[in-house]
């Protein structure tokens, strides 16, 4: 499989790495002493769903202007930035969107990223989040390119509720088949994310649990968040504690230790051995203090938080001829100045601390 052509061979570790710009024992820290560990890359701002909480039709209709292809980062540019981030201490990369599988030949990018090594020689933790609509058609290409982990968004098992949420009439059966196909192919872990909103799909918690219990799939529930400019109603939040109580009444669960510092989901397992699940308490129990994530947008801006209003332009640095060392130094300075803690402030203030935020489809969830 062809891979992006880069300016330097992957195995050529740049001189600035040896000069101490990155040290595994002493990672780059932001203003609140949070290390830079996770990179989320949005490869497209387009999506074929119009989910009510993310890209509603009244905003993202047929006349909405998405990013022109020439303004997107090319795979070569993404690959180059990924190498810079990796040598700065990134240990995990998640590809997102929009819907990342709508980006043509995404497997080419995956093939390069799967070959990247951290400065200590260990492979990156590479994963991708998708709505699953075209996963069945592309799963083999993705797997062969080196993607071994995957997350699928699925907010309901009931077809009427699911089609209402995605708002394009896409049937839930296709997503369930794609999930099963991913499991059979050997993707591991396969995770399923469900955003729960009161009055919309809270009655889907137990049906989702029943469907994925006693399977290799890790089901994760997410509190309804205030993303982008989409109208948000705090009254629609189903708290993580309520989700856990609902599950526990029918299928007793116990907490598990996190896999690593900064993990977003609280891990649980069924007492009868039915497997693992997770609950992400984005609103009621924010995890800003442990956040190690930085986001790279479709057109090459980095954002220190999902709820940021402004980003820093890396595409301009690439296209103006800056060296890898100069780009890495700019990233390092940007991270060291980071002090974002939007979700904690929202909880402390009892309201949204900022009116304007970047759209989630633009930088990924």
Three-state SS sequence of the chain: CCCCCCCCCCCCCCHHHHHHHCCCCCCCECCCCCECCEEEEECCCCCCCCCCCCCCCCCCCCCCCCCCHHHCCCHHHHHHHHHHHHHCCCCEEEEECCCHHHCCCHHHHHHHHHHCECCCCCECEEEEEECCCCHHHHHHHHHHHCCCCEEEECCCCCHHHHHHHHCCCCCHHHHHHHHHHHHHHCCCCEEEEEEEECCCCHHHHHHHHHHHCCCCCEEEEEECCCCCCCCCCHHHECCHHHHHHHHHHHCCEEECCCCCCCCCCEEEEECCCCCEEEEECCCCCCCHHHCCEEEECCCCEEECCCCCCCCEECHHHHHCCCCHHHHHHHHHHHHHCCCCCHHHHHHHHCCCCCCCCCCHHHHCC
Angstrom distance (rounded) from CA 135 to CA 175: 8
Q: What's residue 360's pLDDT?
A: 58
Q: What does the alpha-carbon distance between residue 294 and residue 340 come to, in Å, rounded to a whole number?
A: 11
Per-residue pLDDT tens digits of the chain, which is 365 residues long: 444 444 433 334 343 333 334 444 568 999 999 999 999 999 999 999 998 888 889 888 888 999 999 999 999 999 999 999 999 999 999 999 999 999 999 999 999 999 999 988 999 999 999 999 999 999 999 999 999 999 999 999 999 999 999 999 999 999 999 999 999 999 999 999 999 999 999 999 999 999 999 999 999 999 998 766 566 678 889 999 999 999 999 999 999 998 887 788 999 999 999 999 999 998 888 888 899 999 999 999 999 988 787 899 999 999 999 999 999 999 999 999 999 887 777 777 666 666 555 665 666 66
Give the per-residue pLDDT at 168. 96
Please report, in angstroms and rounded to a whole number, the separation of the first and last CA atoms in the chain.
Answer: 29
Q: What is the pTM of this model?
A: 0.89
The reply to whether omega before 189 is within 30° of 0 (cis) is yes
Biggest alpha carbon–alpha carbon distance for the chain: 59
Distances in whole angstroms, Cα of residue 67 to Cα of each of 81, 85, 187, 230, 365: 20, 24, 31, 19, 18
Both structure tokens of 186? 């050997």
Question: Which domains occur in the chain, in start order?
Answer: 15-363 (3.20.20.70)
């Amino acid at each position: 499989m062809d891979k992006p052509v880069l300016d330097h061979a992957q195995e050529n570790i740049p001189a600035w790495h040896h000069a101490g710009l990155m040290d595994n024992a002493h990672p780059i820290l932001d203003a609140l002493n949070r290390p830079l560990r996770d990179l989320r890359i949005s490869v497209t701002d387009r999506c074929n769903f119009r989910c009510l909480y993310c890209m509603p039709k009244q905003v993202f209709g047929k006349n909405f202007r998405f990013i022109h292809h020439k303004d997107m980062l090319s795979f070569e540019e993404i690959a180059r930035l990924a190498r810079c981030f990796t040598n700065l201490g990134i240990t995990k990369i998640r590809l997102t969107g929009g819907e990342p599988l709508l980006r043509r030949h995404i497997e080419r990018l995956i093939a390069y990223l799967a070959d990247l090594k951290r400065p200590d020689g260990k492979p990156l933790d590479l994963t991708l989040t998708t709505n699953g609509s075209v996963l069945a058609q592309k799963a083999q290409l993705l797997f062969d390119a080196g993607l071994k982990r995957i997350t699928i968004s699925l907010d309901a098992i009931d077809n009427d509720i699911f089609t209402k949420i995605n708002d394009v009439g896409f049937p839930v059966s296709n997503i369930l088949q794609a999930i099963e196909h991913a499991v059979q192919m050997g993707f591991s872990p396969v995770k399923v994310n469900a955003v729960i909103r009161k009055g919309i799909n809270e009655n889907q918690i137990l049906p989702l649990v029943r469907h994925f219990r006693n399977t290799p799939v890790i089901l994760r529930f997410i509190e309804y968040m205030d993303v982008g400019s989409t109208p948000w109603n705090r009254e629609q939040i189903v708290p993580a504690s309520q989700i856990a109580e609902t599950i526990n009444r029918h299928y007793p669960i116990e907490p598990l230790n996190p896999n690593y510092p900064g993990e977003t989901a609280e891990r649980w397992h069924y007492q009868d051995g039915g497997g693992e699940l997770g609950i992400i308490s984005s609103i009621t129990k924010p995890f800003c203090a442990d956040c190690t994530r930085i986001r790279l947008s479709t057109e090459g801006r980095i954002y220190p938080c999902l709820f940021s209003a402004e980003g820093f332009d890396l595409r301009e640095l690439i296209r103006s001829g800056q060296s890898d060392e100069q780009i890495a130094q700019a990233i390092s300075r940007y991270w060291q100045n980071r002090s974002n803690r939007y979700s904690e402030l929202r909880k402390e203030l009892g309201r949204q601390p900022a009116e304007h935020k970047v759209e989630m489809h633009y930088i990924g969830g």
